Amino acid sequence: MPITIYTNEDIRPGAIAGQRIAIIGYGSQGRAHAQNLKDSGHDVIVGVREGGKGWKNAAADGVPTAEPAEAVKGADIIAILTPDMIQGEVYRDIIEPNAKPGAAILFAHGFSIIYDRVTPREDMDVILVAPKGPGDLVRREYARGRGVPSLFAIERDATGKARDRAMGYAKGIGGATGGLLETSFREETETDLFGEQAVLCGGAKELVMSGFNTLVEAGYQPEIAYFECLHELKLIVDLFYEGGVTKMHEFISETAKYGAVASGPRVINDETRARMKEILEDIQSGQFARQWIAENEAGKGQYEAWLKADYEHPIEQTGARLRERMAWLHAAKSEAA
């Protein structure tokens, strides 16, 4: 049975009317959420350190600011939009001692709840609203009168208001305009981590680099390998994004289509799928979370070494030289600034 996609009309009018919303953290998502909620007519305050980057950005955006502990006091909904690894500390030191009884704590990703990094007080609603796009897109689409599809979930309804709070918040950031889907904290967390690791970030990166290495090791020029294995990937991903596999097949050549269906399964095969299942099992069991938490607590030495290897890969040097000639990329950066 298809999942229900909720729209603005499905959300009770005034679902969070009169409720103060504290946004803790003013990075990509925090900035978009705060601005969108403010423009939707909600009472928003941003909790950031005075004089810091977040404070300056919020002031420039015209969003009220306060020190994090002060922002939490009196708030009905507290959105914790800081990085996963510091949320435990933020909750313990700032939110728990200052949140009023019956407040809701809202996450944009369920990691801290599923892996016991945060254990909210029993009187608090625990909810999730996760836009399926980066903060700049969430803001940009809202400003255009549209919205980015979003997920919402209820982990605990202590007050009887949790569902209204989650759906009302989602509407306020444009999520119900884009289409709002209900999930659970566990489903959101495990699918998000799997997608990042096996497909979107880890899988795609390794596929691109391995293809580049294969061509260069066979004697082909790095610049040609870059174009074939990285540069043109955006063209294919755009087709996927706009119309799925069907649109990709519609817009590529017959030879490309034949190669895709004949050779794709030789790359992504039973062995690859077995590795994907292992990744999912590590996520489901908590093994990945334990490894990442331990790595973070140990100073992230292995993590930094892996990143350094990526940054120093020959595809990065080749790409940097080629992108200098791509005027449209520089124009896009100027427009964003």
Q: Which residues are annotated as a binding site?
A: 26-29, 49, 135, 192, 196, 228, 232, 253
User: Which residues does residue 21 pair with via DSSP β-bridges, in sequence order?
Assistant: 44, 77
User: 């292992």: which residue's tokens?
Assistant: 278
The two three-digit tokens of residue 224, written as one number: 């040609």
Residue 109 appears among annotated catalytic residues: yes
Binding-site residue numbers for Mg(2+) are 192, 196, 228, 232
> How many angstroms separate the Cα of 306 from the Cα of each of 31, 223, 255?
30, 24, 37
Binding-site residue numbers for substrate are 253
Q: Give CA–CA dist 270/106, Å, rounded.
A: 39
Please provide residue 225's backbone torsions phi and psi, each rounded to the nearest 5 degrees: -60, -40
Range 76-100 burial, b when 16+ CB lie within 10 A, else e: bbbbbbbebbebbebbeebbbebbe
Strands of the sheet containing 5-6, edge to edge, are 5-6, 180-182, 150-156, 125-131, 104-107, 77-80, 20-24, 43-47, 65-66
106 sits in which H/E element: strand 104-107
Q: Is the dihedral of CA 199, 201, 204, 209 positive or negative?
A: negative
User: Is residue 8 within 8 Å of residue 34, measured between CB atoms?
Assistant: no
Q: Give CA–CA dist 281/277, Å, rounded.
A: 6
What does the radius of gyration of the chain's CA atoms come to, in whole angstroms?
22
Given the residues 109, 231, 249, 330, the one annotated as active site: 109
Residues involved in catalysis: 109
